[in-house]
Amino acid sequence: MNPMNNSLKFLSELDKQSDIILIAHTSPDGDTICSCLALFELLKKCGKNVQLVCDCVVPPILSFFENSDKFIMPEDAVKSPCVMTVDCSDTGRLGRAYPLFENADVTFCIDHHITNTAFADYNIIDAEAAATAQVVYFLSEFAKNNKQNLKIDSLGDIDKNIASYLYGGILTDTGRFAYSNSTADTFYAASKLVEFGIDVSDLCEKLFMTIPLRKSKLLGYCLEKSKLFSNERIAYSFLPLAVVKEYNAGNNDTEGIVENLRNIDTVEVAVFVRQDDENRYKISTRSKKYFDVSELCRKYGGGGHKRAAGFNFEGDIDSFIDNLIAEIGNEL
């Protein structure tokens, strides 16, 4: 399973560290939060002092996870010589936590984004993995099977609670094992995690079937306002700031909208724009079968995966979107 050639070096270097800051990405999702929580527990088993840092609060839908209240803001973190980024494709994803990374003596990165540039001193990046939680699972399994007689060997000690974090991370990044990123390795990791006795239906219900009414209404608004282009192969919707405010919506309330646009039968590429400020926008893109949205988003300073990517934009959105849709249409 999963070679991970550099795992030995990664683990032995990590063993030397006593204080570690784990950083989740800005606008955190289930994968970054769950992978951090799993590493938090595993590294504590290795005798490390660990701080959990994110520049946004943990979304309410994830707050049922034990220890999710342990995340602190970057400015509240005690400076540490060692930082590990989790599920971050580039340092821009660290948001206000970036100075902690910049000022660290040694940096580690665990990720699964194809656009990741291996920006840390020690990197484990598996672009084939469906989720960073899957990468963490295999790293833990590696530690278990390749003991070095070091404290870091305890990274292999997954328990039921840690298994529920890792399963949660995999579940969210695969859309409940629905997306094309689910591979045999994904199901292998999931099955090993289920063996710990986790409650799979409870996790699924909490993560996918516990939706505030405002979120459903926002989805309704965006689908109602959606437009199709290029022989109905591109779906597009725009959510103005005024509507975000009207529904008192948080960032996680707009999650899933772009997937619903992609679900339209004729659509290959979905583009969803959320206005975050007068001049600032978050663009989310998804593709169904063949279009590489990570390439597209990389051009605009963002990144992600082939079938799911995004970026931030500042400026005149109307002409930008016209050009973006024309560009996608030309490449389809």
What is the rounded distance in angstroms from the CA atom of residue 55 to the CA atom of residue 52?
10
Residue among 255, 249, 237, 211 nearest 321 (CA) = 237
Least separation in angstroms between residue 297's CB and ligand 5GP is 7
Residue among 224, 292, 229, 216 nearest 256 (CA) = 216
Cβ nearer to ligand 5GP, comparing 17 with 284: 284
Q: Are 148 and 11 in contact (CB under 8 A)?
A: yes
Q: Is 173 in the site for Mn ion (CB under 5 A)?
A: yes
Q: What are phi and psi of 240, to 5 degrees?
A: -70, 155
Cβ nearer to ligand 5GP, comparing 168 with 310: 310
Match 């030397």 to its residue by tokens: 16
Phi-psi region of 19 (alpha: psi -120 to 50; beta: other; left: phi over 0): beta
Cβ nearer to Mn ion, comparing 120 with 328: 120
Residue among 82, 98, 100 nearest 90 (CA) = 98
Specify the pairing of strand 308-314 against strand 280-287: antiparallel
Window 69-108: residues binding Mn ion (CB under 5 A): 87
Window 290-329: residues binding ligand 5GP (CB under 6 A): 302-305, 308-312
- Residue 302 binds which entry of ligand 5GP, Mn ion, none, CB below 5-8 Å type-dependent: ligand 5GP
Q: Is 284 in the site for ligand 5GP (CB under 6 A)?
A: yes
* 29-37, 96-104, 261-269, 274-282 -> range binding Mn ion (CB under 5 A): 29-37
What is the rounded distance in angstroms from the CA atom of residue 133 to the CA atom of residue 158?
12
Residue from 55, 90, 111, 126 touching ligand 5GP (CB under 6 A): that is: 90
Q: Are 166 and 36 in contact (CB under 8 A)?
A: no
- Residue 31 binds which entry of Mn ion, ligand 5GP, none, CB below 5-8 Å type-dependent: Mn ion
Cβ nearer to ligand 5GP, comparing 162 with 261: 261
Site residues (vs Mn ion, CB under 5 A) = 31, 87, 132, 173
Site residues (vs ligand 5GP, CB under 6 A) = 89-90, 93, 113, 115, 284, 302-305, 308-312
